[in-house]
Amino acid sequence: MSTTEINNLNQIPNLIKNNRTQPILDYKECLFEKVYVETPVDTDGDGQLDLIAVYLRRPKETLLGHQIPAIYVANPYMLACNEDWYVTYNVDKDIEVFPQQEITKEQTAAPNRLPLGSNTTHRRGTKGFAQTAETEEIPLECISDWYSYFNCRGYASVFCGGLGTRGSDGLTITGSNEEVLAFKSVIDWLNGRARAFTNKTDNIEIKADWCTGNVAMSGKSYLGTMCIAVAATGVEGLKTIIPEAAISNWYAYDRYNGLNVPPLGWQGDDIALLSKYCCSRAMDQDDYASIQERYEEVLAEMEISQDRASANYNSFWEERNYLHRMDDLKASVFLVQGLNDWNVKMNQAIPFWNQLVKRQIPRRMMLHQGDHIYIHNLESSGFNELLHSWLDYWLYGIENGTDIVSSKVFVQSNLDQRLWQESSDWSPEGTLLAQFPIPESTHKTFTDDLSLTGFDREKNNFEEWRNRLIIEDGAEAYSLKYLWPQEEDLRICGTVSVSFSAAINRETAILSAMLVDYGSEKRLLEKQEIAEKEGLIWGKNTPIADWVRFAKEEKPSAYRIISRGWMNAQNRTSNCCKEEIESGEFYSYTFEMVPMDYTVRKNHQLGLILYSTDPEATERPFKMTKITIDESTIDVQVPCIKQGQAKTK
């Protein structure tokens, strides 16, 4: 649609010029409102459909009848969290041994149940209507100032904590159908299909007449996860999503091949704990008293269903696997992921991307060198310009060429952060699957015994453990290491898999693999530094931000971990089923490491380490276990690309 055609619609005058929305609106003059959207669920069991508090900011020009699109953030963290309730699970324990199981994938299907409260017949009556619901602005946690950039350019921003958060009804049940349907109802309200009220008691209804019905969802981590989950419902009006460091499969977030493997840095975390952490209704004691008994029952059910004992995939996790609900997804996707994010790892973004490719969903992806961060103010990324054009195209219908750009993937190089490697897909064209030969062909045994590694369970001295495992002498007692010198730069871009045959002297074991870049170099850090102080002005009277870049190590480091992978030896053929192991018997094992895009510099060495307990990631057994590997069976498959074949920007 041309600029003239758009401006002839019910849009804010002079907002669009040169095929771009312009920063002509004053952020300080925006309305800040609070409404309560009616959801289709009753999770707290009070006989009424749950209401969820929604905060929104929209330009005052909408009071004159002008309509605008909305950027919506579903954010369970934003109204504070129960820090005192965050008590992690004990991970210093032996891995439980299970008898032979005969569980099929069909038996892990999502439960065939109606969402809680679907049969609720009571409906609130409407006693009147309001045009606005202005409220005093309150601080919202985990909300970026980035949205002010778009407020000044004719976009509303909409924020919702969801079920069980402070001021809302219901219970926080992380990842569940109920949570997703509740967040979806906000888009339904923005499109006139659901109701909202000015408060929870007076039944004064308020409509979103100011909204065109075109909605984007955005956010990082849990927030980005809900982008994917809601989009997978196929809700009308959701035109695009911008998930950053988002979970597409909750099992792969908290588990890995039959092991409890939480996000690195969050040992002992799990999904029931996250639900409890985010249920900020508990901060209002009188309010929480009305739901406490019911919520404790729900949490107890989650504790059982998440099944930390076996860590198997089951119907609980299937309900939270949005990769299996992609058939209804229609919204375009701009996916953002940190290559050094070991909280929400690359094994969330890449399977989701592959599903988008399979279904030919309009898409873009940026892979940056950060960890669990936003990149709105990352120097050299061009992120804001890309997103501005993306949202103008999908929400305003501006024909700016976004739909015909050939480069769909932008990968920031770990060798030069100013270099963004472009391609039409990931892995890029020209990626080959390389095998790295193991020269030895004997049987070698190592012992899983944390006391040998220098790890202290009380101190959690992870850095010392890593250094001992990777570069110090003596690690051969508890690991196997293989090195391959590199005569030219080697860009690894894809999912590395490792296979081997092993015998174990017990009924189960943890199997781990690590890919390492060996070589002295001042490498990029995940830590950021200021590139330009207060150099980023989002718009008129908006907050001001610093431009940042990634810092470099002050002294050369000897190595960098590229990727890791893990497996419960009893889950050698399936993540939903345990198989018995005969002591001393050789079995074949194959598992994937976390997908990665990383360039090993010329004259460095690529290293593979096979080991057992990973104190940063897995549970930490006390029993000693001996693992014997037939070196002639080790097979390492590494997707890699020759430098110079991918485009850069």
Q: Which residues are catalytic?
A: 221, 341, 372
Closest CA to 157 of 58, 36, 15, 27: 58
Task: Measure CA 443 to chain center.
Answer: 40
- DSSP per residue, 543-599: -EEEEEEEEE-SS-EEEEEEEEEEEEGGGSS-SS------TT-EEEEEEEPPPEEEE
Helix (H, G, I), strand (E, B) or coil at 69: strand
Contact partners, residue 639, CB within 8 Å, separation at least 6: 427, 431, 432, 433, 434, 492, 493, 494, 495, 496
**Side chain identity at 83, as an amino acid letter?**
E
CB 449 within 8 A of CB 509: no
Distance between CA atoms of residues 180 and 227, nearest Å: 9
Helix (H, G, I), strand (E, B) or coil at 518: strand
Secondary structure letter of residue 406 according to DSSP? S
Buried b (16+ CB within 10 A) or exposed e, 71-96: bbbbbbbbbebeeeeeeebebeeebe
Q: Which two tokens stand for residue 622?
A: 């006390």
Judging by DSSP bridges, how do beta strands 625-641 and 443-448 pair with one another?
antiparallel
- Sign, Cα dihedral of 97, 570, 303, 78: positive
CB 276 within 8 A of CB 164: no
Angle between helical axes of 177-190 and 222-231 (0-180°, round to 10): 70
Distance between CA atoms of residues 241 and 361, nearest Å: 12
Distance between CA atoms of residues 194 and 184, nearest Å: 10
Distance between CA atoms of residues 269 and 24, nearest Å: 45
Closest CA to 408 of 629, 630, 91, 646: 646
- Sign, Cα dihedral of 624, 622, 459, 555: positive
Label residue 622 exposed, middle or buried (CB < 10 Å: 0-12, 13-18, 19+): exposed
Contact partners, residue 542, CB within 8 Å, separation at least 6: 27, 145, 148, 149, 151, 152
- Sign, Cα dihedral of 20, 22, 23, 29: negative
Distance between CA atoms of residues 422 and 427, nearest Å: 11
Give the start-end residues of each E strand in 416-575: 420-423, 432-435, 443-448, 480-485, 490-494, 497-504, 510-521, 524-537, 544-552, 557-568
Label residue 422 exposed, middle or buried (CB < 10 Å: 0-12, 13-18, 19+): middle
